[in-house]
Structure 1
């Protein structure tokens, strides 16, 4: 009888968790002051959302009574209000690090997730931490959390004798919902007790399922509200002072306007007029010895905010827009380049994006860049001429993404680059699919891409991939394959390194869904990948890797990784010549990743690795160490040092003609080299409060490749000794970047930013191995530039202006 009772209780619990909770809200006409006190009487008459359930680590465990959480929701004609009472048995232990916006820090957290269409497709998430900081994001199951999206809303968090409380006012302009008289919204609440790393939700989120947004509860009771006119203006003014050793100090004043307009309840237009990206984060440049360009992160807000639709098919690399010119100037023997711009100016850009109630997502991105010229001088006559390295160009992206059954989608994507005049144009079209079973247990994903490039010679190619995986439970697996033809090229608006191959891959994984006696989290994964050159069938890549990730009961993390290339492979990219290849030896690599609990004032990250090659003297190693210290809730510093050494690395160096070596005509020369890399970075912050912070970010990087001897690549892919080549092809690249900034959110959506930046970089063939001299020479380099800038951006909401007048 007892066993039967337990079985019934278990079934009831499972059935209860599978049901969506419902909360009734209430209309108000009185004003609520957002002070975190919940002292208006109307709060007490609102229905209460409680009985939170743990999301992780012990999925499904009810929240204890001494941490009881009660949430109330009210609404009026302009906004929705959330009041949260978050009890804690030890209020003095509540973590409350003060951070800048969208940075949770080491602090307790409360969040509300809203889906105005209740379609399980997209959540608008709003977070407040115990230090009164804000964060917000758009979340989809396909793309995860996008914190580059920012809304304008108000909140206040207060520590009390029984825990802490939160009040939030989220205007309807920050949400998306239909114009129906009776609204039914998807709703969930989230709470993290940081000192324990315990995460709870109001509606149970089953971690066995491969979905997050479809496990929300229901909000009912909102009636007779209208989607507001979503018209936001963000005028700005920026002042820059630039100086370096080669030019006098000069100031520049800029001004412009960003505009955001809600076309209807689903779609939004974003425009930038006279763009200014002078205060974006610097790029972490490296010594790039490989055959492919370095890929950089996108740091410009316009191209990072709300771009989940444009990531479909992985076709858009937005750094192409306003990036390097697409052509290099051609010069005669008696000419020299005086000025060759490193970037192209963006004239304007716009994007339209959104999703209808029926699940159709539409995204349009368009940008125009200006004509850019290089200045070339004749060294004999001193005459100066101009050469166009990038004409006036238009970049366009169109995405149509139809979601169905709340968890699947099929998308059509097109990217197009049209350049004025007789310059290269490009077009890529793709069909992408992400199909899940009704219970989110299996997934079938893939795409088919077709590229056309119009240049001196038209080029057409395809790329396609297909992947099947199990996405439910403790044990999961996946298998897949992809193919890319020789002429596939999406690099005008995307980025793609390898072509002319086909590959097969598979993986399997195991994870615990609830803590054990020793672990809060444990997962392990094995991957296998093989790539073959499409025309010859030679194996280009053969890799097996395994990893184990552990988080113990004290929330310290340990990762163990193993990586092996068990057979020789044929690299068709490093020789930089069509049809040629170099044979790479087998290798084994091992790595550790240790990260202590960031809740502690002092924490440490340590990541060593070692690679053993089946080639004498070629073994390499690397490590990074990153101590961090939180002096107080307002002051913190993070330092990271990394070092790597590659011994007897073999890399392309040069190609020579017949006259240099009659025995090896048209030789491809490789360097046998040691590659040493140092990197130091320091970041820190002083937060006066959640609206006002000082930040510092420093990075010094130095990497050099010292050639020991020269090798010639044979037709069979092997290397032999080569004599008679005496050109210095050593490489040494070092750079320095320093940013010191002050940010003040002086009003909702409005910000003052003050930035001082200095940076320098140099590439040399002669290597000075004295580290101190290198740093000193870099900082005394004539190329060291200084920039001081002040930027003021003011947020204007049409609805607020309308109400005032």
Structure 2
């Protein structure tokens, strides 16, 4: 009998999870005023979606009657309308912090997820907070939520004595769907009750299954609508006033336009003409003592919005476009560069992206940067000349991504960089696969990449990876391997540091799927990693890691972990020379992390870490402390102090020809050094209303490396004292960045923004350990730059203009 009962329960649970909910949309002819009242008669006659269930933390638990949620959907020839009534028996406790767009802060949220093709591949998600703040993103299971995507739509949220109400109007131009007369869309509705940290959905999302977008319900009843002409113009005008101490103040006026055009129901063309990135966020530069360049985040909207296809295979690093010059100019004796080019100007860029109803995703990106020169001066004669540091360059990315069975894909990616004349060209081609079983219980992931570099290097390289993972249930595991040849080089349009190795790795983990008396979430991980040099077989890296991450029932997060490196390893990158390596001792790393519940006005993030090496005095320790205080629903301040000290760190400082040794081409010099880093960041937000905010971002950074002993790298990877080297190779880098900005969304898709920025940085070989003097000197010398800018962007919808012209006619 118990077996029969168990089978019946299992069968009923299967039916509950597998049968899709369905909602009928109501056709309307009357106008709907989006005012958050839902007082038009059409709302009363529409079908209702209710019976929400918890997504997180107690997956599958029905929403309580006191938090009942009712949703209705209307549509006409222009848009779909969503009306949501969210009951709350304690409306005065609804959290409603006003924040910037796409950043909801501490506020209740309502959202709708729409898949016009109902193919389980991609959701267009639209959110409104209880503070009437909008947000939208594109959701795929492979990439997650991409909030860089922007759409133009209308919404209104209102708090009532019974809870709160949201009314939305989403134009068809903001969606993607087929041209069929009778539509069935995938749809889901989302509600987060922030004070309880509870998330609910209308169609249940089973967290035991490794997918999100395939668990939508159905929206039926939409008939005889046609995808509109998706043509948008976004002209802009900007004014910049630049000043710095000791230099002349000057102003600059810029203007340009972005264009979006829907080629058909699946594909969109984005073009940027005369780009202006002057108001993008500053980069968090560091003192980089390692052998590799610093990797920066992308802050330019054109290269972040809707780029999920281009990120397939991890072959595209958009900061290459308009980044630093790729050519080092040849200097004669007594010459120096007097005008350094930091970034190459972008002439224009366009991208085409979309996915057909058969699951074929196509992405094409093209960008052109201008011919760029450096100014070089003869220090004796005073004569100057110009030399090319970046020729006219064309960047191209092509992606073909075929999805099938709603949860798997195979992708072809090609990146190509063509530089005018005889300069370096590059081409990289890759095939990637992400395969899941029909029940989403197992995943097979991998890729193969092939790179070619034309003259003058003329080299080819190969990269491959494959991994297998169990992706469902409480117990999960994964394992995989990578293989990379020495000449693999995707760095003209990608970023990759480590080559000439193979590795093996594995993971096993346990998690709870529903809350317990102590925890809302709990996960423990065990990881193993081993890496070997492909030529010598020496161990480059070997580690064993265990970590725990949990959230208490009071929604405080705790994490802790330990990593053991049980054997001596050999670093082939730090010496900056072929076939040379430095021995890295055995070591132990440990970290701890606390993040208290952000629902409270005061919250704290704390992250200490410590590393012990099997070498006398070689230890590193640091801490990040981040208090935050929400004064009210409008004002929020966050502060972070970061400190890291590395005692007896060993690192490269120089190399030169060894004329006394015919068998060794380079003498490689290391230093035993102490490295100290301080960073202070302050962020503030004052929201005047849901469309208008003031924002403050300040960062002060100082890092120094003081060399105590000079060492020579031996052929066996050890380091011996080398007293003959006397050049000062100490390093001290300090920087300051401050942004004060004002943003006003004065119309749908249209924004006015004003920014005051000052910044300065300096690198020295003399280390001044007076922290106060370092900061004040940086802020009072001639390197401090001031920029004030104001920019206006206006959104023009071709359909709206066309309709106005018709009405006037």
**Residue in 2 aligned with 1:418?**
418
For 1:736-751, list aligned pairs within 5 A. 736-751=736-751
**Residue in 2 aligned with 1:269?**
269
- The alpha-carbon deviation at position 619 of structure 1 amounts to 1.1
1:293 matches 2:293? yes
- The alpha-carbon deviation at position 14 of structure 1 amounts to 4.2
| 2: CA distance, partners of 1:381 / 1:729 | 30
| 2: CA distance, partners of 1:669 / 1:297 | 32
| 2: CA distance, partners of 1:138 / 1:247 | 46
**Residue in 2 aligned with 1:375?**
375
CA contact (8 A) 1:549 1:558 kept: yes
**Residue in 1 aligned with 2:38?**
38
| 2: CA distance, partners of 1:382 / 1:196 | 71
CA contact (8 A) 1:53 1:62 kept: yes
**Residue in 1 aligned with 2:493?**
493
- The alpha-carbon deviation at position 12 of structure 1 amounts to 2.6
**Residue in 1 aligned with 2:350?**
350
**Residue in 1 aligned with 2:542?**
542
- The alpha-carbon deviation at position 381 of structure 1 amounts to 2.7
**Residue in 1 aligned with 2:255?**
255
For 1:631-710, list aligned pairs within 5 A. 631-658=631-658, 666-710=666-710
1:517 matches 2:517? yes
For 1:43-58, list aligned pairs within 5 A. 43-58=43-58
What do residues 741-777 of structure 1 show as CA deviations (whole Å, max 9, x unaligned)?
0000000000000000000000000000011101111
CA contact (8 A) 1:18 1:204 kept: no
Question: Structure 1 residues 626, 660: CA separation in 2 closer, same or farther (over 3 Å shift)?
Answer: farther
**Residue in 1 aligned with 2:108?**
108
What do residues 369-398 of structure 1 show as CA deviations (whole Å, max 9, x unaligned)?
000001112223322211101000000000
**Residue in 2 aligned with 1:776?**
776
What do residues 457-493 of structure 1 show as CA deviations (whole Å, max 9, x unaligned)?
3100110000100001111000100111011000000
Q: Secondary structure at 1:272's aligned position in 2? A: strand
- The alpha-carbon deviation at position 9 of structure 1 amounts to 5.8
**Residue in 1 aligned with 2:131?**
131
**Residue in 2 aligned with 1:87?**
87
| Larger mean Cα displacement after TM superposition, 1-10 or 161-170 | 1-10
| 2: CA distance, partners of 1:548 / 1:660 | 54
CA contact (8 A) 1:565 1:588 kept: yes
| 2: CA distance, partners of 1:253 / 1:673 | 48
| 2: CA distance, partners of 1:440 / 1:199 | 22
- The alpha-carbon deviation at position 7 of structure 1 amounts to 7.2
- The alpha-carbon deviation at position 661 of structure 1 amounts to 9.6
Q: Secondary structure at 2:801's aligned position in 1? A: helix
**Residue in 1 aligned with 2:476?**
476
| 1: CA distance, partners of 2:33 / 2:7 | 49
What do residues 151-170 of structure 1 show as CA deviations (whole Å, max 9, x unaligned)?
00000000001100000000
- The alpha-carbon deviation at position 148 of structure 1 amounts to 0.3
| Larger mean Cα displacement after TM superposition, 253-262 or 660-669 | 660-669
Question: Structure 1 residues 620, 688: CA separation in 2 closer, same or farther (over 3 Å shift)?
Answer: same
TM-score between the two structures when normalised by the length of structure 1:
0.99
| Larger mean Cα displacement after TM superposition, 327-336 or 602-611 | 327-336
1:318 matches 2:318? yes
What do residues 49-70 of structure 1 show as CA deviations (whole Å, max 9, x unaligned)?
0000000100000001111000
| 1: CA distance, partners of 2:681 / 2:249 | 28
| 1: CA distance, partners of 2:24 / 2:722 | 80
**Residue in 2 aligned with 1:573?**
573
| 2: CA distance, partners of 1:660 / 1:2 | 86
**Residue in 1 aligned with 2:215?**
215
**Residue in 1 aligned with 2:724?**
724
| 2: CA distance, partners of 1:488 / 1:454 | 13
| Larger mean Cα displacement after TM superposition, 492-501 or 661-670 | 661-670
Q: Secondary structure at 1:247's aligned position in 2? A: coil
**Residue in 2 aligned with 1:190?**
190
**Residue in 1 aligned with 2:561?**
561
| 1: CA distance, partners of 2:742 / 2:211 | 39
CA contact (8 A) 1:340 1:373 kept: no
Q: Secondary structure at 1:211's aligned position in 2? A: coil
| 1: CA distance, partners of 2:715 / 2:13 | 68
Q: Secondary structure at 1:195's aligned position in 2? A: helix
- The alpha-carbon deviation at position 581 of structure 1 amounts to 0.3
Q: Secondary structure at 1:303's aligned position in 2? A: helix
What do residues 428-470 of structure 1 show as CA deviations (whole Å, max 9, x unaligned)?
0000000000000000010000000002131001100001000
What do residues 601-655 of structure 1 show as CA deviations (whole Å, max 9, x unaligned)?
0000000011111000001101010000000000010000010100000000111
Q: Secondary structure at 1:150's aligned position in 2? A: coil
Question: Structure 1 residues 248, 14: CA separation in 2 closer, same or farther (over 3 Å shift)?
Answer: same
**Residue in 1 aligned with 2:533?**
533
1:19 matches 2:15? no
- The alpha-carbon deviation at position 19 of structure 1 amounts to 1.2
| 2: CA distance, partners of 1:92 / 1:11 | 42
| 2: CA distance, partners of 1:53 / 1:686 | 35
| 2: CA distance, partners of 1:425 / 1:114 | 42
Query: Alpha carbon RMSD of aligned pairs, Å?
Result: 1.4
| 2: CA distance, partners of 1:488 / 1:659 | 32
| 1: CA distance, partners of 2:762 / 2:668 | 27
CA contact (8 A) 1:524 1:546 kept: yes
- The alpha-carbon deviation at position 662 of structure 1 amounts to 11
For 1:62-73, list aligned pairs within 5 A. 62-73=62-73
Kindly tell me the number of residue pairs found equivalent between the two proteins.
805
Question: Structure 1 residues 531, 305: CA separation in 2 closer, same or farther (over 3 Å shift)?
Answer: same
Unaligned runs of 5+ in 2: none
TM-score between the two structures when normalised by the length of structure 2:
0.98
1:466 matches 2:486? no
| 1: CA distance, partners of 2:761 / 2:328 | 21
What do residues 542-586 of structure 1 show as CA deviations (whole Å, max 9, x unaligned)?
011111011001000000111111110010000000000001001
Q: Secondary structure at 1:477's aligned position in 2? A: strand
Q: Secondary structure at 1:260's aligned position in 2? A: strand
| 2: CA distance, partners of 1:387 / 1:150 | 41
CA contact (8 A) 1:364 1:399 kept: yes
- The alpha-carbon deviation at position 666 of structure 1 amounts to 3.6
Q: Secondary structure at 1:248's aligned position in 2? A: coil
| 2: CA distance, partners of 1:354 / 1:3 | 49
**Residue in 2 aligned with 1:118?**
118
Q: Secondary structure at 1:310's aligned position in 2? A: coil
| 1: CA distance, partners of 2:12 / 2:672 | 68
| Larger mean Cα displacement after TM superposition, 649-658 or 55-64 | 649-658
| 1: CA distance, partners of 2:597 / 2:253 | 46
What do residues 711-768 of structure 1 show as CA deviations (whole Å, max 9, x unaligned)?
1110000011111211110000000000000000000000000000000000000000
| 1: CA distance, partners of 2:660 / 2:231 | 68
- The alpha-carbon deviation at position 246 of structure 1 amounts to 3.9
| 1: CA distance, partners of 2:31 / 2:736 | 53
- The alpha-carbon deviation at position 4 of structure 1 amounts to 7.3
**Residue in 2 aligned with 1:402?**
402
Unaligned runs of 5+ in 1: none
**Residue in 1 aligned with 2:431?**
431
- The alpha-carbon deviation at position 2 of structure 1 amounts to 11
Question: Structure 1 residues 788, 202: CA separation in 2 closer, same or farther (over 3 Å shift)?
Answer: same
**Residue in 1 aligned with 2:59?**
59
| 1: CA distance, partners of 2:666 / 2:361 | 53
| 2: CA distance, partners of 1:763 / 1:213 | 49
- The alpha-carbon deviation at position 526 of structure 1 amounts to 1.2
**Residue in 2 aligned with 1:789?**
789
Q: Secondary structure at 1:313's aligned position in 2? A: helix
For 1:448-463, list aligned pairs within 5 A. 448-463=448-463
Q: Secondary structure at 2:492's aligned position in 1? A: coil
Question: Structure 1 residues 673, 44: CA separation in 2 closer, same or farther (over 3 Å shift)?
Answer: same
- The alpha-carbon deviation at position 523 of structure 1 amounts to 0.6
Q: Secondary structure at 1:646's aligned position in 2? A: strand
Q: Secondary structure at 1:656's aligned position in 2? A: strand
Q: Secondary structure at 1:667's aligned position in 2? A: strand
What do residues 530-553 of structure 1 show as CA deviations (whole Å, max 9, x unaligned)?
111001111101011111011001
